[in-house]
Structure 1
Amino acid sequence: MTISDVNTAFAAEKTAQIERVRDVERRFQARIDRGEVRMIGGDRYQVLTGWDRGEVFSVSRNAQGQIEAIIANHGLDTRADGTIALYASSPAWHGLGQIIPGGTSDIDEVLGLSGLDFEVATVPALYQWGGELREHVDQQHTVRTDTGAALGAVGRKYTPIQNRAGFEFLQELVGRFDVVWESAGLIRGGKRVFISIRLPETVAVDADGINDIVVPYVAVMNDHTGNGQFQCVVTPWRPVCANTERFAVRDAVTRWAVRHTAGAIDQIKEARRTLGLSVTYFEQFAAEETALARTDIALADFHKVIGDLWPLEDDAPDRTKNNHAARTGALDDLFRTETERVGRTAYAAERAITGYLDHIAPRRPGKSMTEEIARATASLEGADDDTKSKAHKRLLLLRQR
């Protein structure tokens, strides 16, 4: 039997721990020296290069001044006091933001905590030519009135939809149904802002069988860059797997949008019609999902659906074939996991596909985003809605065999 010297082992372990800390310090300082990172005040730093360019993170140090943790802000903006510009009624997956347990029904409090309490103005688009400053008469710029930060270049007819004016139409719903504001925040320096509420009634899929619960949300997004509309979406969300299930269910309305014009606010009031139809949407949604939950499916059928969504040509290059094989493998793993939970059904297949799109599919983040925020933004904006709807319709066809 080998007898270990405890003191020697402890000393070796402690030396290794110290060396790891020093290595973190050296690598972090090297990034600063190379111009990849710069300090912007206190313990906060900003990334200057690569995919994460513009992202702000904090460095936590111990009493000896050594780095304990590097905490990314996940692409979320910060308020004037340095806190994260995000409000939520419960802690988010990243643990950041201003949390009010149980939420609040006060829109002004939400706007303040989330950093959405700013307005947007338009200013002339100017340029230098021949030593003089000229104005582009057909264009203007949107800017934040609190910081002066530029948000986008827009046409002359563009009229900003202010955050409060755009979101307050939901306040009536908050009061009527006794619900609270679920979350609110801004990304890309305030170029995109969002707010959401959770509707009071949950939806049960196959209530007499698997009884899978879906939580209905209403999310509103506003764009201040001139490249997007003001839009309101009804979003089914499954807490078990954190998937968003926004399908084009027959004729039920799931999305409503308006352009930034002088009459936009009056049109936004019509969004209540969308909210009124949300009940119809969820009734139809539950019926179709229940049908999928009662439709058995073979692995070969699942692969046919995958082939329809992501077709592979016979003469595709090896890289494409390898990517296709990796995707199919990931989808198979998800399908197996879902079948253990809800059975080998078309419903499990749909869960696997939405899970892949929401959590695994490659997602290249923008300049000021982490991959996690890029995924969350894609879900909120419905980047994969068409693919999800195609899968939904394709799987519904299996009922008729």
Structure 2
Amino acid sequence: MTITDVNTAFAAEKTAQIDAARAREAAFQARIDRGEIRMVGADRYEVLTGWDRGEVFIVSRNAQGQIDAIIANHGLDSRADGTIALYASSPAWHGLGQIIPSGTCDIDEVLRLSGLDFDVVTVPAMYLWNGELRQHADVQHTVRTDTGAALGAVGCRYQPIQNIEGFYFLQELVNRYDVVWESAGPIRGGRRVFISIRLPDTVTVDAEGINDLIVPYVAVINDHSGNGQFQCVVTPWRPVCANTERFAVRDAHTRWAVRHTKGAIDQIKEARRTLGLSVRYFDKFADEETALARTDIAVADFHQVIADLWPLEDDATDRTKANHAKRLAVLDDQFRTETDRVGRTAYAAERAITGYLDHVAPRRPGKTMTEEIARATAALEGADDDLKTTAHKRLLVLTRS
């Protein structure tokens, strides 16, 4: 017969709780000491690094002053059960979403965990006129079948591309390269949805010099609102800070899009070949980035590239001039940071520009989005593709001079 001393058991349990609380406090303080987060108000903190840079969260403490909970101001969509509609193979700083360490290859599981396991249907657009309900013959509404939420107004020829149909074609790449699904989730209440994978072969820039690693990344975005197409993006990104830049390689198809029409699924299947070609262009991309890394650049040349990207008219207002000067100062700071890491090169200049666009350039978030979610969405959707491509090509000119 075993006799349990409840006092001893209670003391042991309490000691374990205290030790856990102290460990959590120490880990939190360590992040502050490393410059990853900072206090911005009473119990409010801001993330300073990575994809989550700019996010603000609240730390709730108990009566003893110990961390009780971390409440994120994340702006992410929620599922019907109240959990965050996000799947990822590794957690973000806030620890939210459905995380499978090391990821999964099962597309059905990804759709379920991310809250993307819903269909979209079209219903007649109705309006009330003099007490009579009428139908607008040329317009339909797209509606989620799980919640009944309206997603947008579309024309009569619009054909929804279901999430499972649009994403499943990437399963071939998952199988071919033996990779896992990286992340998936809805944006703007399901009006847009995304899914992504990371390819296994990293790109090495200047292997004998800075030896910088860039990871091939493929993302698919499907639009259910009527304001966008089904599109696929092939892009490199740097694990060190998650800057993204599109291919600026000659003849590489880095983004293609399909309209929501009756033949869309057949076009998506045909696009597999184009996607494969784009992935193979990473070798060419590595060569061009290495050339940038081996090309010294003067500050004056860097400023000229900036002037080409953001020209300032002679008759610009004082406010425009002030904003231009502020941007230049921020870019100079970014350039100095990159120069310390990789030298004063054209590669450092490109990193400074992409870093500014991804993490610093002003964004206007929607009502349901934080600025950082808006920033990540802009990077995913390629809002700055033209600027990044222009910067890449402009800097390549310096490698030949």
TM-score calculated relative to the size of structure 1: 0.83
Name the counterpart of 2:4.
none
**For the residues of structure 2 that align with 1:248 and 1:123, how far apart are their CA atoms?**
41
RMSD over aligned Cα atoms: 2.1
Report the CA distance between 1:253 and its aligned residue. 1.0
1:339 matched to 2:335? The reply is no
Name the counterpart of 1:45.
none
Name the counterpart of 2:356.
356
Q: Taking structure 1 as reference, are residues 186 and 60 closer, same or farther at Cα in structure 2, changes over 3 Å only?
A: farther
Q: Which amino acid in the other structure matches residue 189 of structure 1?
A: G
Q: Which amino acid in the other structure matches residue 312 of structure 1?
A: L
Name the counterpart of 1:375.
375
Report the CA distance between 1:211 and its aligned residue. 1.2
Name the counterpart of 2:182.
182
1:75 touches 1:187 (CA, 8 Å); kept in 2?
no
1:317 matched to 2:325? The reply is no
- Counterpart secondary structure, 1:185: strand
- Counterpart secondary structure, 1:351: helix
The 5 Å alignment of 1:167-178 reads: 167-178=167-178
The 5 Å alignment of 1:220-235 reads: 220-235=220-235
1:110 touches 1:181 (CA, 8 Å); kept in 2?
yes
**For the residues of structure 2 that align with 1:380 and 1:270, how far apart are their CA atoms?**
23
Report the CA distance between 1:312 and its aligned residue. 1.4
What is the CA deviation profile of residues 119-173 of structure 1, one whole-angstrom value per residue up to 9, with x for unaligned ones?
A: 0010000001121111000110000001100000000010100001110111121
Identity %: 82
What is the CA deviation profile of residues 177-215 of structure 1, one whole-angstrom value per residue up to 9, with x for unaligned ones?
A: 210000000111100100001111111111122111000
**For the residues of structure 1 that align with 2:63 and 2:131, how far apart are their CA atoms?**
56
**For the residues of structure 1 that align with 2:399 and 2:61, how far apart are their CA atoms?**
59
**For the residues of structure 2 that align with 1:340 and 1:158, how far apart are their CA atoms?**
52
Report the CA distance between 1:393 and its aligned residue. 0.9
Q: Taking structure 1 as reference, are residues 67 and 143 closer, same or farther at Cα in structure 2, changes over 3 Å only?
A: farther
1:254 touches 1:281 (CA, 8 Å); kept in 2?
no
Name the counterpart of 2:397.
397
2:86 touches 2:186 (CA, 8 Å); kept in 1?
yes
Q: Which amino acid in the other structure matches residue 274 of structure 1?
A: T
The 5 Å alignment of 1:2-401 reads: 62=62, 71-401=71-401
2:72 touches 2:94 (CA, 8 Å); kept in 1?
no
1:73 touches 1:96 (CA, 8 Å); kept in 2?
no
What is the CA deviation profile of residues 302-329 of structure 1, one whole-angstrom value per residue up to 9, with x for unaligned ones?
A: 0111111111123322211111111111
2:234 touches 2:279 (CA, 8 Å); kept in 1?
no
What is the CA deviation profile of residues 47-69 of structure 1, one whole-angstrom value per residue up to 9, with x for unaligned ones?
A: xxxxxxxxxx99957479x9966
1:73 touches 1:84 (CA, 8 Å); kept in 2?
no
What is the CA deviation profile of residues 201-255 of structure 1, one whole-angstrom value per residue up to 9, with x for unaligned ones?
A: 1111111221110000110000000010000110101011210011332101111
Report the CA distance between 1:382 and its aligned residue. 0.3
2:309 touches 2:390 (CA, 8 Å); kept in 1?
yes
TM-score calculated relative to the size of structure 2: 0.83
Report the CA distance between 1:93 and its aligned residue. 4.1
Q: Taking structure 1 as reference, are residues 58 and 334 closer, same or farther at Cα in structure 2, changes over 3 Å only?
A: closer
Q: Taking structure 1 as reference, are residues 127 and 249 closer, same or farther at Cα in structure 2, changes over 3 Å only?
A: same
**For the residues of structure 2 that align with 1:246 and 1:101, how far apart are their CA atoms?**
28
**For the residues of structure 1 that align with 2:234 and 2:109, how far apart are their CA atoms?**
23
**For the residues of structure 1 that align with 2:118 and 2:193, how far apart are their CA atoms?**
11
1:24 touches 1:67 (CA, 8 Å); kept in 2?
no
2:216 touches 2:279 (CA, 8 Å); kept in 1?
no
1:119 touches 1:145 (CA, 8 Å); kept in 2?
yes
Name the stretch that deviates more: 302-311 or 273-282: 273-282
What is the CA deviation profile of residues 2-26 of structure 1, one whole-angstrom value per residue up to 9, with x for unaligned ones?
A: xxxxxxxxxxxxxxxxxxxxx979x
1:89 touches 1:182 (CA, 8 Å); kept in 2?
yes
Q: Which amino acid in the other structure matches residue 317 of structure 2?
A: P
- Counterpart secondary structure, 1:147: coil
Point out where structure 1 has 5 or more consecutive residues left out of the alignment.
1-22, 26-56
1:139 touches 1:155 (CA, 8 Å); kept in 2?
yes
Q: Taking structure 1 as reference, are residues 73 and 83 closer, same or farther at Cα in structure 2, changes over 3 Å only?
A: farther
**For the residues of structure 1 that align with 2:279 and 2:362, how far apart are their CA atoms?**
34
**For the residues of structure 1 that align with 2:93 and 2:289, how far apart are their CA atoms?**
27
